[in-house]
Every structure is written in structure tokens, then in C-alpha cells.
Amino acid sequence: MTDTARLTYRQASQLITALQHGQALDDAVATIELTAVWTRARTDTRLAIALAGRDPDAPEERSRTVRADFLRLLALGLPPSRAELILGVSHTSGWRSDSVFAGACDAVTAAAAPYGYTKRTRLSPQRVAAFLKVLSTPGTTVLTAAAAAGVTPSAIYQKRRRDKEFARAYDAARRAATSRG
């Protein structure tokens, strides 16, 4: 391989399988340049996990991967709520019970502050309308509808508790989805 050569998806999959079966990295990459492996591992989470000596298909790796992605998004300057939307998770606040992870979140957020997203996402009338429209579609979850409107599910639930008119519209959208489905 040349310096510009890339590790293909198939090669990466074969390398991951070899590492999962206990093959040494040097033996597994006999015909592949290590620089291509390192370049691919920057964006291939499964490969990075396999290179760390763990099984990327193990269930516990999913949580570790999502947490790492969450920190990456915070480092890019996104607020936690936007990172949750991008990752499709709504429970990151529960991760705060892990004091080490909470400290990492705080440190990454502080380091990214000069580059951070400073404008807050509000539940504008347009966002509320978009949320209700999607929510009225059969089979749609609050998470999906909130993501489509660009807000977090927690913002929706807070508005529902505080705003009786919104609560009625929310319930009507749910009924409409049920009657259509």
C-alpha cells in the first residue's frame, strides 16, 4: 500500500475479525500499512475498539461508544441537548451519576467554551408546530418528533407540564396518530 492508500471497509472488517480471534496486530496487518489502519481507526469506532483489545460487538461497548461520541460532540462546541439529538439518546443526564464521566463532560465543555454554541434553541411556534405535525404520524415517538423539530424530549415534557394549551395539542396529536394507525 502507498501512503495515500485507504483501508477499505472489507479490509477493516477482516482486521477486526482477526483481532477478535486473538491474532496479533502485526500478523493481522501483514499486507496492510499501519498508517492506513490508524487513519481508518480515526473514524471507525469498531476498529478502534478492536485495536484497544476489546470486542466491538459486545453489548457493553455500545454505552462506551455513545459516551465517547457524546464527549466528542461536546468538544466540538455543541450543547448537551444538541448532542443528545444527534446521537438519538435522551438519557445522558443519568450519566451524570458517574462522577468521573460528569467531570469529563465538565472539562470538555469548559475546554470547548470559546468555540461553543451560544444561542439557545427555543421552542418557537414553528418548532412546536413541526413537533405536533410529526407526533400526529402513526408510530412516531416523542424522541423522533422532538428531533425532527430540533428540540429535546425534555423540553417538550417541560412545556407540556407548564402549558395547558400545548398539553391539549399534544394529546390531540397523539389521538390523531392512534386513529390513523
- φ/ψ region of 22 (left if φ > 0, alpha if ψ in -120 to 50, else beta) reads left
User: Confidence class of residue 40 from pLDDT cuts 50, 70 and 90?
Assistant: very high
Q: How far apart are CA 82 and CA 51, in angstroms?
A: 30
Whether this model's pTM surpasses 0.75: no
Residue 36: its pLDDT value, please?
Answer: 92
Tens digit of each residue's pLDDT (9 = 90 or more) over 110-149: 888 777 655 556 788 888 999 999 999 999 888 888 888 8
Identify residue 14 by its one-letter amino acid code: Q
And the C-alpha cell for 174?
397523539
Tens digit of each residue's pLDDT (9 = 90 or more) over 141-173: 888 888 888 787 888 998 999 999 999 999 999
End-to-end CA distance of the chain: 54
